[in-house]
Homo-oligomer: A and B are copies of this chain.
């Protein structure tokens, strides 16, 4: 997902507030102008338009297959068949479930990745039937990211139909575990140590043409559980209370975190969910919290993480210091999310290319921002990466009322095609 923060984008989802100033170098603008005049490109653009109805149908087909994170198999199979039917050189599913189609390059010296994610935030049992009212398609997950998957298929079809090959190999993929507790599973696998080397990464997971994600907000998420014996609130009084330890930990953490986040790269923390206890007349046997910390930089993320982990121990020690009987409390710290942060230089070729194309196709000034998407991994490794939009009009991402209208939806596909051609060395 492009988790998108405050202002409403054309997609009705909240977009990041850390929008950066940007300058598009003339050389990239010139390359785009040249490229779009090329008769082969014009023909490819026409083909994208000619298969537009089928691309929308593919989106609908894929949307109606449930695929919560960690359960993308069924959708992966259908998506793989679409890639085979498009005529990919080869299609395979890797160890974690990423579905990948190879489009061989003319030189094959490098490989880059173009992908949408297979998973949605919706659990099994959610009605994912697509409903049409007027020109609007409604269904949970229809844009995020089934539209992205349909774009991947349309791109592969177009390159094959128009017999376009870049110098580099391209992996057209549907990836697993992008959402929530998927924790970028698919992408961590593709960029793991010792993996087949990928030279660049284009993620299709955003809103409008001009909304370009060139940075990854890193995040660390924990479930922390303080534990004790529990007992009757009166009869067992004096034993350690896990709720007290949790409160002590939070109160140790907050002032330090508040000071730490007052300046420098944007860094945040949230005690987001907590719970525990059985009844009003019982000292609980456990108290837990889900905590989210994010930063634009890895250094600040590690800094606040350190403060957090210290505070957990302090909370535990403070409560254990005042218990009058029974065993000391203990604590379990479970990391439930770990997304690295990173930033691609606005002057780097991939970002410059993306901005030049977006400006040309949309007529608007592109907006760079940081967010949390599959590209976080590549950003953090310094691999050229960008997350771009899926086009059309849409809204309600992550809600049951998610919707999409095919308003010039083909432009987003054309945008990715241009980026592939420029990045892959076609001209």
Cβ-neighbour of A14 out of B232, B278, B283 (below 8 A)? B232
User: Which of A68-76, A77-85, A206-214, A267-275 is the contact stretch?
Assistant: A267-275
User: Which of A47-55, A247-255, A373-381, A408-416 is the contact stretch?
Assistant: A247-255
- Docked-complex contact A271 and B235, CB < 8 angstroms: no
Cβ-neighbour of A292 out of B233, B254, B255 (below 8 A)? B233
Bin the interface of chain A by size. Answer: 35 or more
- Give bound CA distance, A95 to B317, whole Å: 52
| Copies of the chain in the assembly | 2
- Docked-complex contact B234 and A268, CB < 8 angstroms: yes
Interface presence of A23 (CB below 8 A): no
Nearest CB of B to A8, in Å: 12
- Give bound CA distance, A284 to B250, whole Å: 15
Nearest CB of B to A372, in Å: 8
Residues of chain A from 213 to 232 with CB closer than 8 A to chain B in the complex: 217, 219, 221, 232
Nearest CB of B to A179, in Å: 11
Cβ-neighbour of A251 out of B251, B266, B276 (below 8 A)? B251
Find the residue from A4, A232, A280, A287 having the highest chain B CB count within 10 A: A280
- Docked-complex contact B270 and A278, CB < 8 angstroms: no
Cβ-neighbour of A233 out of B234, B246, B294 (below 8 A)? B294
Interface presence of A36 (CB below 8 A): no
- Docked-complex contact A322 and B277, CB < 8 angstroms: no
- Docked-complex contact B235 and A6, CB < 8 angstroms: yes
- Give bound CA distance, A337 to B129, whole Å: 48
Interface presence of A290 (CB below 8 A): yes
Cβ-neighbour of A274 out of B232, B243, B336 (below 8 A)? B243
Enumerate chain B residues within 8 angstroms of A322, measured Cβ to Cβ.
254-255, 258
Given known contacts A6-B236, A14-B235, A337 and B280 CB-to-CB distance under 8 angstroms: yes
Enumerate chain B residues within 8 angstroms of A120, measured Cβ to Cβ.
none
Cβ-neighbour of A270 out of B14, B276, B282, B294 (below 8 A)? B282
Enumerate chain B residues within 8 angstroms of A246, measured Cβ to Cβ.
247
Closest to A238 in B: B268
Cβ-neighbour of A271 out of B247, B278, B294, B336 (below 8 A)? B247
Interface presence of A279 (CB below 8 A): yes
Cβ-neighbour of A277 out of B217, B276, B290 (below 8 A)? B290
Enumerate chain B residues within 8 angstroms of A232, measured Cβ to Cβ.
3, 5-6, 14
Enumerate chain B residues within 8 angstroms of A272, measured Cβ to Cβ.
233, 243, 277-284
- Docked-complex contact A280 and B221, CB < 8 angstroms: yes
Nearest CB of B to A354, in Å: 23
Interface presence of A241 (CB below 8 A): yes
- Give bound CA distance, A134 to B206, whole Å: 69
- Give bound CA distance, A228 to B351, whole Å: 39
Enumerate chain B residues within 8 angstroms of A234, measured Cβ to Cβ.
3, 5, 217, 219, 268, 292, 294, 372
Cβ-neighbour of A250 out of B243, B270, B372 (below 8 A)? B243
- Give bound CA distance, A272 to B232, whole Å: 10
Nearest CB of B to A55, in Å: 31
Other A-B pairs, 13, CB within 8 Å; known A241-B271, A274-B275, A274-B276: A4-B235, A5-B235, A5-B236, A180-B279, A180-B280, A219-B234, A233-B272, A234-B292, A237-B269, A244-B254, A247-B248, A247-B250, A270-B282
20 A-B interface contacts by CB (under 8 A): A3-B281, A4-B235, A5-B232, A6-B232, A6-B235, A180-B280, A233-B272, A237-B261, A237-B269, A241-B270, A244-B251, A247-B247, A247-B250, A247-B254, A248-B251, A248-B254, A251-B251, A255-B322, A272-B279, A273-B276
